[in-house]
Amino acid sequence: MTLIRANLVKLPPVASRLTKLVLSSAALLVVTACGSSKPSPASLESLTPTVRLTTLWSHRIGSVEGPQLLAVRNGQITAASTDGDIVSFDVATGAERWRAKAGADLTAAVGSDGRYAAVVTQANELLTFDQGKPLWRERLPGRVITAPLVAGERVFIQSVDRNVRAYDALDGRWLWQYQRPGGEPLALANAGVIAAFRDTLLVGQGPRLVGLDPIKGAVRFDVNVGTPRGTNEVERLADLVGPLARVDDEACVRTFQLNVACLELNRGSLRWSR
């Protein structure tokens, strides 16, 4: 037990009245708080399922750390594990079409058009396969965490510094690169936007969606999705975050800590932003 000695001090009349007022107010707050009732949550609405889902098939492909995309094209679904296993299945039956090993852990996977598949390893190497057979590998100049896009016998990659590069899927020849000038110096270390719309390559460049000619890398349109706000580079960070969602001629994207927007892709124009 601890004994504490306290000295009593006699207050002047004014101070004594103020002290009594404060104590009375505190007691009133305590009584009010004790007497208040908690709000009752609204009852949940009953849910009647209208569609019944069943599992058609299931396969284990290994461990997956972080976001990994499934590539679905031409009746095939291609998946990859973090430790480098790449597998392609028949969408309807789940039958294994082919299997490959990257031989290293992956940071970006997987892109595929149903025949060619591409992944990026932690050593920053771009690996491309033809129905499971290794074709070529290329050391990349920047870190990549966005899954490659494979389309039109080309492999497109986007590095963390927003640099977009195109390679020939057959022999690995470097074709072109694009990086929008005047971008923010700080970039988001998260999967970005890289997708195809008809004969246009869609890429995120900070808070802007840029449409490129996939043959030469020339700009077809450049749309500002949102204007960054803030007093420093971190607060102004507003990169487009993948994946992009597209239905027919419209696509919707979201920017980091800023907004969501939808665009009309034929004209390359902004429909709305919230």
Judge if 153 and 262 occupy the same domain.
Answer: no
Cis preceding-peptide flag for 30 (omega within 30 of 0): no
pLDDT average per 10 residues of sequence, the chain (274 residues): 37 45 43 60 84 88 79 93 95 95 94 96 97 96 94 96 96 96 80 95 95 97 88 84 93 90 95 92
pLDDT of amino acid 72: 92
Domain final position from 145, 160, 179: 179
Residue 2 inside a domain? The answer is no
Can you point out the beta strands (E) in the chain?
71-73, 76-80, 85-90, 96-101, 106-112, 116-121, 125-130, 133-139, 149-151, 154-158, 164-168, 174-178, 194-197, 200-205, 208-212, 219-224, 240-247, 250-255, 260-264, 269-273
For residue 110, what pLDDT is reported? 95
Q: What span, in angstroms and rounded, lies between the C-alpha atoms of 160 and 41? A: 44
Q: 26 lies in a domain?
A: no
Q: Based on the domain organization, do 186 and 80 belong to the same domain?
A: no
Give the pLDDT confidence score for residue 1 in this predicted structure.
33
Q: Which of 179, 195, 216 is the last residue of a domain?
A: 179
Report the pLDDT value the prediction gives residue 36, as an integer from 0 to 100: 58
Are 173 and 66 contained in the same domain?
A: yes
pLDDT of residue 65: 80
Q: Last residue of a domain, which of 158, 179, 200?
A: 179
Q: What is the pLDDT of residue 171?
A: 96
Q: Is 251 helix (H, G, I), strand (E, B) or coil?
A: strand
> Would you state the pLDDT for residue 43?
84
Q: Which residues contact 115 (CB under 8 A, 6 or more apart)?
A: 74, 130, 131
Task: State how beta strands 76-80 and 71-73 pair.
Answer: antiparallel
pLDDT for 5 equals 33
SS3 state at 254: strand
Contact yes or no for 114/169 (Cβ under 8 A): no
Domain CATH for 89: 2.40.128.630
Q: What are the backbone angles phi and psi of residue 21, rounded to the nearest 5°?
A: -65, -45
Say if residue 99 is in the same domain as residue 186: no
Q: Are residues 149 and 228 in the same domain?
A: no
Q: Let me know: does 88 contact 102? Beta carbons within 8 Å.
A: no
> Could you tell me if 149 and 193 lie in one domain?
no
